[in-house]
Structure formats: structure tokens, C-alpha cells
Amino acid sequence: MLKQPPFMSKQFSKISIVGLGYVGLPLSLQFARSGVSVLGFDLDQQKVNLINAGETYLKHFPSESIAEQVDANRLEATTDPSRLSEVEAILICVPTPLGDHREPDLSFVLDTARTIAPHLAKGVLITLESTTFPGTTEDELRIVLEEGSGMKAGTDFHLAYSPEREDPGRDDASVKTIPKVVGGYTSKCAEMAEALYMQALDKIHRVSSCRAAEATKLLENIFRSVNIALVNELKVVYEAMGIDVHEVIDAAATKPFGFMVFRPGPGLGGHCIPIDPFYLTWKAREFDKHTRFIELAGEINTAMPDYVISKVADALNEDGKAIKGSKILVLGLAYKANVDDCRESPSFVLMEKLEAKGATVDYNDSFVPVVPPTREHAHFTGKKSVDIEDTYELILVSTDHAEYKTFDFSGYSCSLVDSRNCISKKPKKYYNA
């Protein structure tokens, strides 16, 4: 049950948010708008410089929103960890990727802890927001903070976990309005975390421990992963039966209870859903438990790019062509519609697989005009978006940006494979994938 905390005299006047990416920047802006002084900390000097200049590096956050808080002296950024001694709370928002063997990589979290620990003021609140497996905050982060600061969690400083729930591109929810789950190392730690978040957010839901809060975020993303895998599998099965899965989903959605809409696609993208379920899979092995649903969902979702590539091959074959030697344009590099976030995007996988089969591949995405550096797809770094033209053998829709839904392909002579079922003005050679 959502609840408001009891009256608390503690008011935080200055906090720091470590990691100024897709999670940290919006959180920083929300606290600043609420009157809390925010010192953003990031190792990326370019990000720090842009914030201090009142400029953005995330397309869905206009420069005006940053400049307003900077000009009001409520937002500042730094690369100097010694300045963290000035603040009453530190919120850690750094990546938690998977390793090569789907094992959790806590290096960003623990390196952050080693960096900030010598500069912690007594009584400071440390909150981890990065998605991770149950036990990370208490068993991993706590130990590093205690060793580096010489202080004890729950006694000399407060420790809590509160998972981010940011969903870029949504108009019906924001950092302020999405209920915030909080769990503390001790009850006092949880109280402090509640008090902090209540200064900037509408609703807080307190759970019994950091572990419960960590498990909550995993459940949310496992739920999505499993259900997306289900409709992806049904897409393939229904196609073999001559049934349009999207028609079926639309019909099922008319039921006013017991059904939630999920849509199939070319694979999973974003930092959370393709990654987070495997934190629990990895941790469960410690308890000799098997996560069969999670692993099966991962297998199905991971196989979807191959399914889409097979549809590309079929479409080209209808024209007497092969993937090898064909020019192919991929529409959309972002992992979801109308955002500039291309982390873990299935578009990268599709482009790699097409190139491996001998195709020349370009992409179009107004939200991602140039491919940023990525850990797993570094060879695409610097590649630029091109115009949509009828000069390709095939166009492949990977992301359902609004502009693609209304784009007029009706006069195009090339084939178009639509993995999102989003194109309204279709060419003659249209294929649903």
C-alpha cells in the first residue's frame, strides 16, 4: 500500500547524484525543481561542462529545463569527488551491465563506492538506484563504503536502496509521479530515505529491507521480459497459422480485466529488460534454484532478430535477390519509440547480422543522428543517420518512431519489412515481420 511517512523534521538542503545519464539527470532536475540544491557528479567532463553551461545531452530533456535550475543555483555538476563532503545525501545512479557470460558487473557501483567513501560526511545518506540482484546494497556496497570511510552503516551513515523507474518517452508518468519504492539497511535508514524522496516525489512505498526493494525492480522487469517473450512466440506460431497476432492482441485488449497488452518486436532493447532478469538468474544459483521462465524468455527474445532476418531474406528472395550484395536501410536505432536511447537496441544486432551476411547497411533515426560509443557495438561508433530514400533493395523497420507511422511509403518500389506493425502508408512490397 502506498503511504506517506510520519512527520519528519529532517529536511535535506543539499544532495549529490552520482551518474548523470538517463537516470541521474532527470532525478537531478526533479530534486532541483523541488528546491533542493543538487551537486551532480560524473567522470565525464563533457557532461559536467554541458550541465554547468545549462545545455542538454539528452534529447528528451531540453536545455531550457537544465538552464533554469543552473541559473537558480539549484543545479551544479562536478568531476571532483572531494566536493561530496558538502552534501547530506548521495544517490548512486551508475550502470550495472552484464558480463560476457551474463554475470552481473558491479564494477561501476563498487568503483563509485571507492571514489566517494573517503569523502563521506558523518550522518550522510547513501542510496543506490542502480538495478541489481538482492543483497548488493547490504553485502557489496556497504562493505566497500565502510572500508573506505572508516564508518559503520546504520550508525555513522545511512544506507538505502531505491530502484529507478524512469521510462523515457512516456507522457503519462514522470519521475515526480511514479511511486518510489524504498528499502533501508535499518529502519532509521529507511526513514531517512523516505524523508529525502518525499521532498521531491509524490508517493513513497516503503518495504522491509534493501533486499526487498532490489527484488521489486527485478520482478517488474522480469514480468515484462516474460510477457514480451510470450507474444513474440505467439507471433511466430500464429503467423504459421495465417493469423495476424496484432489483430488478436487488439481483440484480447477489449477485455476489461485480466489482460495486459504487450507487443512483439525484433528483440529486446534498453538498459533494463534485456539485462535485469539475469541478475536474479545468476543470484538464484547461489541458492541452488533454477529460473526456468526467465531463461526461456531470454532465449525467445534473443532469437527474434534471427526471425526478422529470415523475413528480410524471404522478402528479397521474392525479388530474386539475396541479402549478400543488397543495400538495406534500417529505420530506427533507438530501442523504443521517440527517444534517443539506443542502449542494448536490437537494431544493432540486426545491422550486425545483415552485414555478416554481406549486406551494405545504413540507418535512419532523427533521435540518434550519430551512433554514440557503446560497449558491445563499438565498430558502429560515429556512423551517421541517412535520409529515407527509395534507393535501397529493402527497408527494415526496427523502431516504431511516430514519424515512420505517418511516412508515405506508398510510392516506393523497394521492399519494406515491418517488425513493429506500424507503417500505415505501405508500399506494394510490404511484409509484416
In angstroms, the CA 54 to CA 162 distance is 28
**Domain spanning 14-208: which superfamily?**
NAD(P)-binding Rossmann-like Domain (3.40.50.720)
Structural fold of domain 210-433 = Rossmann fold (3.40.50)
Strand partners, 248: none
54, 57, 76, 77: which is closest to 66 by C-alpha? 54
Domain regions of the chain by residue span: 14-208, 210-433
pTM (2 d.p.):
0.88
Spot the catalytic one: 93, 189, 210, 272: 272
8 A C-beta contact, residue 61 and residue 20: no
| Domains 14-208 and 210-433 in one fold | yes
Say whether 210 is catalytic.
no
DSSP code, position 98 = B
Distance CA 232, CA 432 (A): 13
pLDDT in tens, the chain (433 residues): 444 444 445 799 999 999 999 899 999 999 999 999 999 999 999 999 999 999 999 877 889 999 999 999 999 999 999 999 999 999 999 999 877 777 788 999 999 999 999 999 999 999 999 999 999 999 999 999 999 999 999 999 999 999 998 766 666 558 899 999 999 999 999 999 999 999 999 999 999 999 999 999 999 999 999 999 999 999 999 999 999 999 999 999 999 999 999 999 998 776 666 677 778 888 888 899 989 988 899 899 999 999 999 999 999 999 999 999 999 999 999 999 998 989 889 999 999 999 999 999 999 999 999 999 887 899 999 999 999 999 999 999 999 999 999 999 999 999 999 999 999 999 999 999 9
